[in-house]
Amino acid sequence: MVCLGNICRSPLAEGIMQHLADEQGLDWEIDSAGTGDWHIGQGPDRRSVRTARQHGIDISKQVCRLFSVSDFDTFDHILVMDKSNLSNVLAMARNDEDVKKVELLLIDKIVPDPYFDDAQFEPVFKLIENGCREFIARYK
Ligand code: 4NP
């Protein structure tokens, strides 16, 4: 799960996908990262932590890290939140195999950045949850 800062959207996406995968008994390894380095080593944004908690998901222990080329080797799917994340990640792809792993979580639309608008965290949670449910239906 990849976004820009790895403190708002992708930590939610990691927590939600892990929660849903656990519920379905899927032994999936899920992680998140950002393409920007401002928040490395920090926990998720408190608004994301609170929104997740309201839905029974604890993301407070996550630690922000930078997306790295080695993620293409570690993971089968790289799910990005918006088109800027998409181009940043694709710019790091080494070959067609890497490129094929990358897709927008919501396929035909983006998960907007809620960083500057507190009211967007709940709608963003729902968008991500729907995307995760659809992903699980496709790949489980
Ligand atoms: P995210 O949101 O990409 O969903 O984690 C952002 C968090 C921080 C910044 C931008 C977006 N920032 O510029 O610090």
pLDDT averaged over every residue in the chain: 98
**Burial class of 78 by CB neighbour count within 10 A (0 to 12, 13 to 18, 19+):** buried
For 42-108, strand residue ranges (E) read: 78-80, 102-104
What confidence score (pLDDT) does residue 114 get?
Answer: 98
Of 2, 3, 4, 120, best ligand 1 pocket probe by most atoms within 8 Å of the beta carbon: 4
What is the reported pLDDT for 138? 97
User: What is the 34 CA–ligand 1 centroid distance (Å)?
Assistant: 9
Per residue in 32-65, pLDDT tens?
999 999 999 999 999 999 999 999 999 999 999 9
Q: What is the pLDDT of residue 21?
A: 98
140 by DSSP, 3-state: which?
A: coil
Q: What's the pLDDT score for residue 86?
A: 98
| CA pair distance 69, 109, nearest whole angstrom | 25
Separation of alpha carbons 64 and 20, rounded Å: 21
Kindly indicate the confidence band of residue 3, based on its pLDDT and cuts at 50, 70 and 90. Answer: very high
* CATH fold of the domain at 2-139: Rossmann fold (3.40.50)
The kind and range of the H/E element at 34 are strand 33-34
Residue of 47, 71, 113, 132 marked catalytic: 113
Number of neighbouring beta carbons within 10 Å of residue 139: 10
pLDDT band at 87 (very low <50, low <70, confident <90, very high): very high
Q: Identify the pLDDT of residue 50.
A: 98
Of the residues 3, 8, 64, 132, which is catalytic? 3
> What is the rounded distance in angstroms from the CA atom of residue 31 to the CA atom of residue 39?
16
Sequence ranges of the domains in the chain: 2-139
Q: 33 C-alpha to center of ligand 1: Å?
A: 11
Q: Are the beta carbons of 9 and 122 closer than 8 angstroms?
A: no
User: Are residues 30 and 43 in contact, defined by beta-carbon separation less than 8 angstroms?
Assistant: no
pLDDT of residue 134: 98
CB distance 47 to 121 below 8 Å: yes
Tell me, in angstroms, the distance from the centre of ligand 1 to residue 7's CA: 6
Predicted pLDDT at 84: 98
Find out whether the beta carbon of 9 lies less than 6 Å from any atom of ligand 1.
Answer: yes
Which of the residues 9, 64, 71, 132 is marked catalytic?
9
* Residue 27 annotated as catalytic: no
Percent of the chain with pLDDT over 90: 100
